Structures are given as structure tokens and as C-alpha cells.
Amino acid sequence: MDYSREELLHFVKPHLKQSRFEHTIRVADTAIILADRFGADVKKTEIAAILHDYAKHKPKELLRKWIETDRRLSKDLLHFHHELWHGPVGALMLEKEVGLNDHSVQSAIACHTSGKVNMSLLDKVVFLADYIEPGRNFEGVEDVRDLAKERLDSACLLALRNTMQFLISKEQTVYPDTLHAYNQLVNG
Ligand SMILES: [Fe+2]
Ligand SMILES: [Fe+2]
């Protein structure tokens, strides 16, 4: 997949609301800074970041159908909040619709909301960029931004911890991949 930034943005734009498109640009800019800082592949980072929310506004029923029918998708997802679905499903939709077949890029798109065990450098950069892009203003984000200036794993760990604490405080379920990512990073 050898598309320019402009081509990728042009491709995703019709699939996103304006605010989500602007978020996407901020995630891409943030992710490139992080990739540069921590030594991830900048081009792959840019592709994954621009495409990460591709399926965000697809109908819930369409996402559900994908999970039910594509054997590569964990059926577990159906028991958790549908907000988690657009990453894993989007990564596979992009394969079908634009021939995205880079597994490292697909992985970063798939786990950008939940995290997962054994996250690659690229996975972490996209996950963190989605969490700290300048438009985010939830509680605790500033501490994650500070950590992201020097320590990628520590920043991801705090983002995961904040996410789990938020979900628990709302009496919501925590997707196991998030807990697995947390457990692995907390053990250093
Ligand atoms: Fe997302
Ligand atoms: Fe996002």
C-alpha cells in the first residue's frame, strides 16, 4: 500500500464526520511525532493513524455481522461494548475495500481502542496517539502526555490504567485485551 498522506486523507474523509476527520488528522500528527521519537516506521504509522477510525461510523449491525461471520474476529467482542468493534472490524474491512494487507498496520488499527498483549512499537504509538492527541481533554490525559515525552511503555501503561479505572468507576466491563496489555506492561 503506497499511498500519500493526501490520498489516504481523501479516502477516509467521506467515511468520517467532520469532527472525527479532524481527530484523525491530529492522531496522525501526534503519531508521527511519537514514531519519530521512539523509532517506529513513520510511513506505516501515518497509514495506520489515518485509517484507524475508518469503521467508527459504520452501522453497529454491519460491524456485528462482520464479527459474527469473519472467523479471524474474536466472538468475544459481541459481549463487550460496541465502541470496541470499529478497530478490529475496520482493519479487516480495509483489507477487503482497499487491499490493505500489511499485518503490522492492521494490528495497530485493530487494537487502537483496547490495547492487547504483546503490542508492537507501532501498536503502542497509534494507541497512545489516539489517547493523547491535542483534542483530548479528559482527566489524567496531561500526565500521559508528559510520560509520552520520554517513556512509551509507561505512557501506554498509564493510559490503560486510566481507561480501566474509568470503566470500573462506571461499573462497565473491561475488555480482556486491555487487562492483558496492562498486566504485561505493569510487570515491566
Ligand atoms: Fe477509534
Ligand atoms: Fe480515534
pLDDT at 165: 97
What confidence tens digit (pLDDT) does each residue in 95-148 have?
999 999 999 999 999 999 999 999 999 999 999 999 999 999 999 999 999 999
pLDDT at 188: 80
User: Quick check: 2 pLDDT over 80?
Assistant: no
Place of cell 504509522: 45
- 64 contacts 85 by C-beta, under 8 angstroms: yes
* Residues, CB within 5 angstroms of ligand 2 (ion): 53, 130
Average pLDDT over residues 149-178: 97
Which string of b and e fits 72-88 if b means at least 16 CB within 10 Å? ebeeebeebeeebbbbb
Whole-number Å distance, alpha carbon 96 to ligand 2 midpoint, is 21
Whole-number Å distance, alpha carbon 9 to ligand 1 midpoint, is 16
Instruction: Report how far apart, in Å, the C-alpha atoms of 74 and of each of 79, 80, 110, 170, 176 are.
Output: 10, 11, 11, 25, 11
What confidence tens digit (pLDDT) does each residue in 12-55 have?
999 999 999 999 999 999 999 999 999 999 999 999 999 999 99
Longest Cα–Cα distance in the chain: 43
User: Quick check: 163 pLDDT over 80?
Assistant: yes
Whole-number Å distance, alpha carbon 135 to ligand 1 midpoint, is 14
**Planar angle of CA 169, 171, 173, nearest 5 degrees:** 110
Confidence category of residue 3, pLDDT binned at 50, 70, 90: confident
Listed as own residue / partner, the contacts of 181-187 with beta carbons closer than 8 Å and 24 or more positions apart are: 181/114, 181/115, 181/116, 181/117, 181/119, 181/156, 182/115, 182/157, 183/117, 184/117, 184/118, 185/153, 185/156, 185/157, 185/160, 186/157
What confidence tens digit (pLDDT) does each residue in 165-185 have?
999 999 999 999 999 999 999
Whole-number Å distance, alpha carbon 186 to ligand 2 midpoint, is 24
Whole-number Å distance, alpha carbon 123 to ligand 1 midpoint, is 13
Ligand nearest to the CA of 90: 1
pLDDT at 1: 66
Ligand nearest to the CA of 23: 2
